[in-house]
Amino acid sequence: MLDKGEPFAEVPWFLVRQYDLNLQMAGPPAAVDELVYRGDVEGRKFSAFYLDHGRLVAAVGFNRAKDVARRARADRSRDSRAPPAVLSDESTDLRALAKQKQP
């Protein structure tokens, strides 16, 4: 962009707020082979991470917008990998995980 020889790599995202509900999504959830949940799905306060061969391609947060902002939107490399057990673990700091250098 701006003739610097670097491709534009912004992660597409959207945010919807309706009454007491908040839905945020980052990345296109296409061509995935695994879906990892974090939080309380039945209680309508959860995040879902869309993985394609172990690579994070999208995330959605339902009343958990910070999970999406910290993990999916913070990761501009688009080649982020984390084991499903780590993503689903409530004690995992997603912001720190997003900053880790990927293999």
From first to last of its 103 residues, what are the pLDDT tens digits of the chain?
567 777 766 777 888 999 989 999 888 877 789 999 999 999 999 999 999 988 888 889 999 878 887 665 545 445 678 889 999 999 988 877 777 655 5
Q: How far are the Cα atoms of 63, 80, 83 from residue 44, in angstroms, in the given order?
A: 7, 26, 24
Owner of token pair 């962009």:
1
pLDDT given at position 75: 52
What domains can be seen in the chain, in order of their start residue? 13-99 (3.30.390.30)
Find, among 24, 10, 79, the residue nearest to 51 by Cα. 79
Q: pTM to 2 decimals?
A: 0.79
Question: What sign results for the dihedral spanned by CA atoms 45, 15, 10, 31?
Answer: positive
